[in-house]
Amino acid sequence: MQPYAPVPLSKATTLLNHGPVTLVSSAHGGARNVMAASWAMPLDFTPPKVAVVIDSRTLTRKLVEGSGEFVLNIPARGLAEATLAVGSRSGEEGDKFSELGLRTFQGEQVAAPLLEGCVAWLECRVLPEPHNQQRYDLFLAEVIAAWADPRVFANGRWRFEDGALRTMHYVAGGDFFATGESFKVSDAID
Amino acid sequence: MQPYAPVPLSKATTLLNHGPVTLVSSAHGGARNVMAASWAMPLDFTPPKVAVVIDSRTLTRKLVEGSGEFVLNIPARGLAEATLAVGSRSGEEGDKFSELGLRTFQGEQVAAPLLEGCVAWLECRVLPEPHNQQRYDLFLAEVIAAWADPRVFANGRWRFEDGALRTMHYVAGGDFFATGESFKVSDAID
């Protein structure tokens, strides 16, 4: 069973701030889908908002535009193969969840499913901006609920220990970086 | 002397795809500035575009709006203290470059300076979108020139070896992650 715990909305952007690859899940009218998105970032702290690019040719785009909702799932390294796979096939051709053996659970605010094997989940409601969506494939959204795996995110901070639970950063062509060692800096330069 | 080499525009988004922290440099009317921005991401491949959040209360905002240009610098770990410092003080109070001993060089397309100690540089021209800028502090821009340190980026790929030249991912409160180990995945799931 996937461990998860609520994250205060005031800490929601911290889940995404380090630039990990994300999986966008969506559901509408009896259909559901999941795709990979590296082009996602925080947009504001309070209320928390995010920006994400969703290509107009995808099933995800139809489901997000239809429902006005999505979930940004942040996959752990154990989901690397699935992350590449959901990014390189279309949901129009079949249900990726069943094809790839991906298990899901439900959040509290949106119908889109949350993926097991991820370590954070941002339930998002689209802020309708038709010009951005049509011209740039750019979606802005408010985060209305957030969750994280308490093994690696607690008290508002990431604490990675187990390699399989680290987040990932996507480059291109199947190349990823793991999130590396943490270090702290103080503003002591004069 | 900072080594740098041109990056084809077709590979420009690869410099930013893994979600590293960036430094936004700007220049206008005899003033210049640099600030940290974690909220930056690719927006399109061809021509390459980026999105970045620039707070309305910053000097950078004035210089970017005045000039219509900026540079996204991607700092190496050796610049971690400076990255935090330029993110926590205002350019209105004094020239951060001289205060922090930051050296710069000039690119080819924009007046904004390129920072030494970084490993990639994206020269950007703002795509004017007043609604996004005023409502969300969100700037969209086209990348019109790109450069990278050939010690860590060559033939369109990052190849980090030296720890001091790795890129960084910012969390909050002075906490960073280094970009970690690379790994390759193939879409072999059936």
Q: Which residues of A touch B188 (CB under 8 A)?
A: 81
Q: Which residues of B touch A183 (CB under 8 A)?
A: 80, 175-178
Question: For B5-178, which CATH class?
Answer: mainly beta
Asked if A51 and B41 come within 8 Å (Cβ–Cβ), the reply is yes
Cβ proximity of A84 and A171 under 8 Å: no
pLDDT at A91: 87
The pLDDT > 70 percentage for chain A reads 98
Q: Which residues pair with A115 in a beta bridge?
A: A104
Cβ proximity of B126 and B109 under 8 Å: no
Reported as a single tens digit per residue, the pLDDT across A84-98 is: 999 888 888 889 999
Whether the bond between B8 and the residue before it is cis, its omega within 30 degrees of 0, is no
Cβ proximity of A52 and A72 under 8 Å: yes
pLDDT at B190: 47
Rounded to the nearest angstrom, the minimum Cα separation between B52 and chain A is 9
Residues of chain B with pLDDT under 50: 190
Asked if A178 and B180 come within 8 Å (Cβ–Cβ), the reply is yes
Asked if B49 and A180 come within 8 Å (Cβ–Cβ), the reply is no
pLDDT at A188: 56
Scanning every residue of chain B, which has its alpha carbon at the shortest distance from the alpha carbon of A98? Answer: B190
pLDDT at B129: 98
B 110-129 near A (Cβ less than 8 A): 129
A1 touches chain B (CB under 8 A): no
Reported as a single tens digit per residue, the pLDDT across A105-114 is: 999 999 999 9
Average pLDDT of span A76-82: 96
A30 touches chain B (CB under 8 A): no
Rounded to the nearest angstrom, the minimum Cα separation between B167 and chain A is 10
Average pLDDT of span A12-16: 98
pLDDT at B188: 56
Rounded to the nearest angstrom, the minimum Cα separation between B108 and chain A is 26
Buried b (16+ CB within 10 A) or exposed e, A149-169: bebbbeeeebebeeeebbbbb
Name the residue facing B177 among A14, A38, A179 (closest C-beta): A179
- Closest to A69 (Cα-Cα) out of A124, A139, A138: A124
Scanning every residue of chain A, which has its alpha carbon at the shortest distance from the alpha carbon of B37? Answer: A17
A56 touches chain B (CB under 8 A): no
Check pLDDT > 90 for residue A166: yes
Rounded to the nearest angstrom, the minimum Cα separation between B96 and chain A is 10
Reported as a single tens digit per residue, the pLDDT across A121-154 is: 999 999 999 999 999 999 999 999 999 999 999 9
pLDDT at B165: 96
Euclidean distance between CA atoms B51 and B40, whole angstroms: 6
- A190 band by pLDDT with thresholds 50, 70 and 90: very low
ipTM of the complex: 0.96
Asked if B19 and A14 come within 8 Å (Cβ–Cβ), the reply is no
Q: How are the residues of chain A apportioned to helix, strand and coil, as percentages rounded to the nearest 5?
A: 25, 45, 35
The token pair at A48 is 């928390």
Q: Which residues contact A132 (CB under 8 A, 6 or more apart)?
A: A138, A139, A140, B129, B132
